[in-house]
Amino acid sequence: MKCGIIIYPSKELQEEINNYRKRYDPEYALIPPHITLKTRFDIDDNLLTQLTNELEEITKDMKPFEISIKKVSSFQPVSNKIYFKIEPNEMLDTLHQRLYEGMLPKEKFSTFVPHITLAQNINEDEFADIYTSLSMKDYNYTDTLNHLEINYQLDDGTWETYKRFDFGG
């Protein structure tokens, strides 16, 4: 099973982000706006119970925490992905780090860049136009994160929630 570990922001922030994603992200319909903590990985169904136990342990002592978004950034020149950059956040960094201490597959981002994607899979000209336009705006979003989820990918490319883990049990 192909899984990922993510955090969904509040419905209100998702609506704001989807105003952009509808126009700029061809993967808009596959998954709601989210923060990826652990990118796609394959896991045997037999290990899923072990993984859920581990995530329950990680999240039971956590408290909900706030994130802040103040600007748009990109992964250029590596990719033409444009995103809302999440301001440095100790709780988010700690949570990400803890996901690599247990049984989860150990492949990880070379650098953890907490973000929520706005545009992806766009050509160079589209990238330049969209990035320039979005970079000229001021943003000031705050949101409280109170859970994470294991999601799994269906055959049609969409993602569904396997299990939700509320911070604080």
Catalytic residues: 34, 115
Report d(CA 80, CA 160) in Å as an integer.
26
The values of phi and psi at residue 46, to 5°, are -65, -30
Report d(CA 130, CA 86) in Å as an integer.
19
DSSP secondary structure letters along 19-59: HHHHHH-TTTTTS-S-EEEEEEEE--HHHHHHHHHHHHHHH
DSSP three-state, residue 73: strand
